[in-house]
């Protein structure tokens, strides 16, 4: 077999793999939206397929089993979620601007992508029961922590201070506010959400030393 023939076969193989991966991703995204709507406990393969343009059998053509499908969907979430605040960090020129724009973005995505976020918490909790999700969950969680830390350390820098806690403490604090705001948002308790919004700047200030 010549080199030319080999590279031709390779091209064909690569194109097939690309098509395969593209459809896999497409189905994983459809899965993500169904999961966001129904939650992990109530999502069936037939329901997922119904929210896509394919039949339920196709899922076993692209995924080994349900776990494989949902794992891939979780990975898709990461792509959507993690880079939200980087632009805020990059463009802010003062501490107040960074803090205010962070808070605005925070509550923007809270309302805008509420169902997607509740899915994330759902899957993170699943990993407390199901070992097979843990590796992906821990990886996404660490990316979220790093994102928070970029915000907090830049904020401290702009304030001329230092971060007051560890990355872990900073993350769980802001993530905790988010989780709680999400709960009250979905419960229709707008007052509680507004109060958390009012308290968030102070919470951020607790995480950096006074200038």
Position 19 contacts DNA (CB under 7 A)? yes
Residues 6+ apart with CB under 8 A from 154: 89, 92, 98
25, 37, 39, 58: which one contacts DNA (CB under 7 A)? 58
Position 55 contacts DNA (CB under 7 A)? yes
29, 33, 51, 66: which one contacts DNA (CB under 7 A)? 66
Judged by CB under 7 A, the stretch of 29-37, 54-62, 108-116, 202-210 that binds DNA is 54-62
Find which of DNA, a copy of itself, none residue 122 binds, CB within 5 to 8 Å per kind. Answer: a copy of itself
Write out the DSSP string of the chain: --HHHHHHHHHHHHHHHHHHHHHHHHHHHHHHHHHHHH-GGG--HHHHHHTTTS-GGGHHHH-SSHHHHHHHHHHHHHHHHTTTTHHHHHH--SHHHHHHHHHHHHHHHHHHTHHHHHHHHHHHHHHHH-GGGHHHHHHHHHHHHHHHHHHHHHHHHHHTS-B-S-HHHHHHHHHHHHHHHHHHHHTT-HHHHHHHHHHHHHHHHHTB---
CA angle 159, 164, 169 (to 5 degrees): 125
7, 10, 14, 15: which one contacts DNA (CB under 7 A)? 15
Judged by CB under 7 A, the stretch of 62-70, 128-136, 137-145, 160-168 that binds DNA is 62-70
Nearest distance in Å: CB 121, DNA: 20
Position 43 contacts DNA (CB under 7 A)? yes
Nearer to DNA, 33 or 66 (CB): 66
Position 88 contacts DNA (CB under 7 A)? no
Nearest distance in Å: CB 10, DNA: 11
Find which of DNA, a copy of itself, none residue 29 binds, CB within 5 to 8 Å per kind. Answer: none
Nearest distance in Å: CB 184, a copy of itself: 8
**How far is the C-alpha of 50 from the C-alpha of 73, rounded, in Å?**
16
Structural tokens at position 133: 């999700």
Nearer to DNA, 67 or 180 (CB): 67
Q: Which residues bind DNA (CB under 7 A)?
A: 12, 15-16, 19-20, 23, 43-47, 53-62, 65-67
């Amino acid at each position: 077999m010549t080199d030319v023939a080999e590279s031709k076969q390779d091209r064909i193989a690569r194109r097939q793999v690309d098509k395969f991966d593209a459809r896999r991703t497409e189905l994983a995204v459809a899965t993500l939206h169904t999961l966001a709507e129904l939650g992990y406990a109530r999502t069936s393969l037939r329901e997922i397929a119904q929210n896509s343009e394919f039949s339920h059998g196709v899922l076993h053509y692209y995924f080994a089993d349900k776990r494989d499908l949902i794992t891939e969907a979780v990975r898709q979430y990461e792509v959507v979620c993690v880079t939200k605040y980087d632009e805020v960090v990059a463009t802010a020129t003062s501490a107040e601007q960074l803090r205010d724009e962070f808070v605005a973005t925070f509550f923007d995505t809270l309302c805008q992508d509420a169902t997607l976020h509740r899915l994330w918490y759902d899957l993170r909790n699943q990993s407390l029961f199901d070992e097979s999700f843990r590796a992906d969950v821990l990886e996404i969680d660490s990316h979220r922590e790093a994102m928070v830390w970029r915000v907090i350390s830049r904020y401290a820098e702009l304030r001329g201070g230092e971060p007051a806690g560890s990355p872990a403490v900073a993350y769980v604090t802001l993530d905790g506010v988010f989780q709680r705001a999400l709960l009250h948002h979905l419960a229709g308790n707008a007052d509680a959400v507004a109060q958390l919004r009012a308290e968030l700047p102070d919470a951020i200030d607790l995480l950096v030393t006074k200038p």
